[in-house]
Structure 1
Amino acid sequence: MNLPTEPPSKVQSDLSPTKSTQSWFPRRLSIEEGGIERVTNEERQQNTTKFWNATTFWFSANMAVATLNVGSLGGSLGLGFWDCFIVILIVNLASDLLPAWTATFGLTGLRMTTFSRYSFGYWGNMLVVVFSMIATTGWNAINSISGASVLNALSNGKFPTWAGVIVICTFVWAICALGITWIHRLDAFIWIPPLIVWCVAAGTGASSFTSEAPRALEGSDKAAAVLTYMASIFSFSVSWVNCAADYNVRMPHDTPRWKIFSATYVGIFFPTVLVQSLGAAMYSGTVTSPEWKEAYSSSSIGGLLAMALQPAGGFGKFLMVLAALSAIPNNIPNNYSFALHAQNLGSWAIRVPRVILVTFGFVAAIIVGCCAAKYFEDTLQTLLSVIGYWTVIHITVVLEEHFIFRRRWKAYDFDAWNSPALLSFGWAAIGAFAFGFLGAALGMKVAWYSGPIASLIGTKGANIGHELTFAFSGLVFPIFRWIEKRYGSQ
């Protein structure tokens, strides 16, 4: 990978904390003080990230109870286990390629939301910033609710879900406040306990699992359920697109891109398929047992996990605590990257200390999480869909800008990352964004709305919003971008 090695621009050097200006205490404890400033080659010589951290980081983030929850959505739509497994496998094989590719952008020294300025323009990128902040807040809340539901089930309802949300978010805040070095240190091994939990749960709960579908679906109704489930699985994977690069900015600049790509793909694909498949299997227990069905109704995925681990006795309760805590590494990318997204709101935002923005994201996640817990299943499906729609626009515009208009890494001036005069305004991306959401409105299927095209499939409709979002935004962006380059400066 040939990336420019010139010294950073004056704008960057004015904003970046140097070794001489950093206080002794944070440097001694490896506490991160900087923000979205481009990480220079000299800075990467300290606290260097190893390429295998790209695997362990995503192992920890995806070996989580929220992943289990997403896997169980297929059963709630009426699909049997093998239908769910095929969807999980095929969708992840393809969709995990996208965050693996964007993870390599970290070698530029720029975070993903900042890198997007080269395709969305300086001002058009504000759409990416705002939606990224909404998405990370939503995921922070949803993942916390997933973990809190396990604590709720463990306590037989005595420990309320809102209290669990606060506990999990607080731990996440503390780790994110320390910064990237500590995140990689912890994520090197904290994926192991939840892996043990899922293996034990698969063994102790297997006798209650079945391949029988919860409901008899045929023809267009089954196609609709499959399409909607595909949308949920796809949205879960591509949600990492908006932050995957953030955790590789301290890798040596000469690290081969294929190493980062491969390490990230492995780190996302294997735990996601494993845990989502277990979630689908656990939901099948509601078909064979009224007790499992009641447990799911009262405590969601936490109730199913409690039933699966019940044969393990006291050890099973200990494992449930570990499962609940898996929401912590699952939420680290959301709370940490929230601050980086926010710093792209303008030069004034860069000067706001990262820890303050991390704290703001922490408070927002608690408020949203406590409110969303009451309508969790509908909230989860709706959030997965909406986040997926805008993420499709994001990755489509970045892909087309790179492969159609840039074509090589040398075409980017990475020193211009914070210079509005050297970047486009972003009219092309804004137009693509508008057309993309038009496609989403026509094809979306969520709890409170079904688009006119989505309603044509099956009796209840099917979620084909992602396909239409990609088609609409992908077709118009090259046209708008050509016009922008022809009559603009960038």
Structure 2
Amino acid sequence: MKVETRSIEYIPADERHGKARDLFPIWFGANMHITTLVTGALPIALGLNLFWSLGAIVIGTLLGAIFMASHSAQGPQLGIPQMIQSRAQFGVIGAIFPLFLVMFVYLGFFASSGLLAAQTLSSLTKIDQTWSILALNVLCFVATIYGYNLIHKMQKVLSWASLFIYIAATYIVFQLHVPSGSWGMGQLDLPVFLLAVSMVATWQLAYAPYVADYSRYLPVTTPTSHTFWYSYAGTVIGTIWMMTLGATLTVAIPNFLDHSGGNLAGLFGNFAIIMFLIIIFGQLAINVFNLYGAFMATITTIEPFIKLKVTPKVRIAMIFCVTVAGTVLCLLGQSNFLAFFLNFIFFISYFLIPWTSINLVDYYLLRHGQYNVKDIFDVNGQYGKINWIACVAFIVSILAEIPFINTTFYVGPVAKFFDGADIAWVIGLIVPAALYYFPMRKKLNSSSIIVRNSSTTNHLEKDVK
């Protein structure tokens, strides 16, 4: 296994490999872990029963995954990581603002997933939790150094292993007793239901900043529809499955969330070690995703200012620095800091939704996937340093979202007025789409007119000569 030599640069045609179907195990496996399962408990924590919790999980996943998979489909066409492609919308320097927010999200999820893995490892081996965090993060560091190909292989192994183990787990879980009425329709608390849908949809949207990182090596001839549907199917099936288990376990086992990994493994009795190992492997795999994405975002942020050649030594040094930052947060997370920090991360995630909208509108509706990749790396290229249309649309959309947000960190006035209903993610998709599309279409049309006029003038001058 060779260390990956590419970072944020374009992947040449002769280095492209794989099939679109390879994306299914990537995104199926990316959701088959304890963090997804714990997230599925949120609708229950909000007060919904199992029936309406499952409804929120299904609707939120089906909607959010549309945007996630739409980003994935960009990878084979452009051959570059997801966030660096944002330079075509925001400008080479302007793209740093959403990149900075993405870094918080990566590190936040790295800390939370690492802590859950360490808790599970400590339960299995009785190793001190701090040492468990350090040992697991070293493994993540090593895997991230090898990069793209190793991550794909890890996800295939995880997907197959998870498939069989979680089939058994599902059978066991649905034998557990749940309170009467848990599966009844009853009376729906619509504001709480909308909040639960929002949380689940945001889970999918959080993948958007790095989903194309894992499709960029596919041949450019890969059909866009294939890339979309394999990504979509993998993430939808994995997410709904795990979140449904999480919601059911939270209802069936008192204080399940106090030690989710140990409680889940305990259901297997004498075979608990198998589930312990799957849980730890799953957490390692998703944290390699987070670390790899954080590395890409770091390179993309500093590249306009320092033309850094990412040699193996530079790669190792930068991944090490990101690992140290994530490990520090994970160690702090052993106290009550983690609850505050994760709430802050979900709060930040709302601010990335307008980025998703701007990126997809630009790619699918305005430029139709046609970009000058060379200029994406040129601060003086056609995309410029800062595209104020995108930056203003981004900032205004964030401000428009704030009144609709409902988190433990902050509740907006509109959300309060509607008894906690949260539709901020819908606002974050619609508002920037309108604010960006119309002025940017006018700008692009003007540019094309100038190019055509310039071409006509050149032809006239040649004729005169």
TM-score band, normalised by the shorter chain?
0.7 to 0.9
Judged with a 3 Å threshold, the aligned counterparts in structure 2 of structure 1 residues 199 and 378 are, in CA distance, closer, same or farther, namely farther
Per-residue deviation, residues 402-437 of structure 1 (Å, max 9, x unmatched): 34432x334x21221211222132211211221122
Distance (whole Å) between structure 1 residues aligned to residue 97 and residue 63 of structure 2: 26
Question: Which aligned pairs between 1:75-474 and structure 2 lie closer than 5 A?
Answer: 75-107=44-76, 108-154=78-124, 158-210=126-178, 212=180, 222-286=189-253, 292-293=254-255, 295-297=256-258, 299=259, 301-307=260-266, 309=267, 312-345=268-301, 346-347=303-304, 348=306, 350-352=308-310, 353-375=314-336, 376=338, 379-387=341-349, 389-406=350-367, 408-410=368-370, 412-421=371-380, 422-424=382-384, 425-458=386-419, 461-474=420-433
For 2:383, the aligned partner's letter is L
Question: Which aligned pairs between 1:22-101 and structure 2 lie closer than 5 A?
Answer: 29-44=1-16, 48-101=17-70
Q: How many matched pairs?
A: 439
Judged with a 3 Å threshold, the aligned counterparts in structure 2 of structure 1 residues 212 and 384 are, in CA distance, closer, same or farther, namely farther
Q: Which moved further from structure 2: 421-430 or 465-474?
A: 465-474
Judged with a 3 Å threshold, the aligned counterparts in structure 2 of structure 1 residues 349 and 68 are, in CA distance, closer, same or farther, namely farther
Judged with a 3 Å threshold, the aligned counterparts in structure 2 of structure 1 residues 167 and 192 are, in CA distance, closer, same or farther, namely farther
Q: Which moved further from structure 2: 473-482 or 136-145?
A: 473-482
Judged with a 3 Å threshold, the aligned counterparts in structure 2 of structure 1 residues 39 and 455 are, in CA distance, closer, same or farther, namely same
Deviation at 1:315, TM superposition (A): 0.7
Secondary structure, counterpart of 2:47 in structure 1: coil
Deviation at 1:247, TM superposition (A): 1.3
For 1:361, the aligned partner's letter is V
Corresponding residue of 1:24: none
For 2:411, the aligned partner's letter is S
Distance (whole Å) between structure 2 residues aligned to residue 457 and residue 218 of structure 1: 21
Secondary structure, counterpart of 1:232 in structure 2: helix
Secondary structure, counterpart of 1:420 in structure 2: coil
Judged with a 3 Å threshold, the aligned counterparts in structure 2 of structure 1 residues 448 and 253 are, in CA distance, closer, same or farther, namely closer
Give the alignment's TM-score, normalised by structure 2.
0.86
For 2:246, the aligned partner's letter is G
Would the aligned equivalents of 2:23 and 2:230 in 1 still touch at CA under 8 Å?
yes
Would the aligned equivalents of 2:173 and 2:248 in 1 still touch at CA under 8 Å?
no
Deviation at 1:199, TM superposition (A): 2.5
Would the aligned equivalents of 2:108 and 2:342 in 1 still touch at CA under 8 Å?
no
Would the aligned equivalents of 2:397 and 2:432 in 1 still touch at CA under 8 Å?
yes
For 2:19, the aligned partner's letter is K
Deviation at 1:482, TM superposition (A): 5.2
Per-residue deviation, residues 110-165 of structure 1 (Å, max 9, x unmatched): 1111111111221211112212222111111122223233334546xx54544433
Secondary structure, counterpart of 2:67 in structure 1: helix
The sequence identity of aligned pairs, in percent, is 20
Secondary structure, counterpart of 1:146 in structure 2: helix
Corresponding residue of 1:478: 437
Runs (5+) with no aligned partner, structure 1: 1-28, 287-291
Secondary structure, counterpart of 2:2 in structure 1: coil
Q: Which moved further from structure 2: 371-380 or 171-180?
A: 371-380
Would the aligned equivalents of 1:168 and 1:327 in 2 still touch at CA under 8 Å?
no
Would the aligned equivalents of 1:431 and 1:480 in 2 still touch at CA under 8 Å?
no
Deviation at 1:212, TM superposition (A): 4.8
For 2:325, the aligned partner's letter is A
Would the aligned equivalents of 1:57 and 1:188 in 2 still touch at CA under 8 Å?
yes
Per-residue deviation, residues 310-334 of structure 1 (Å, max 9, x unmatched): xx32212332232122101112221
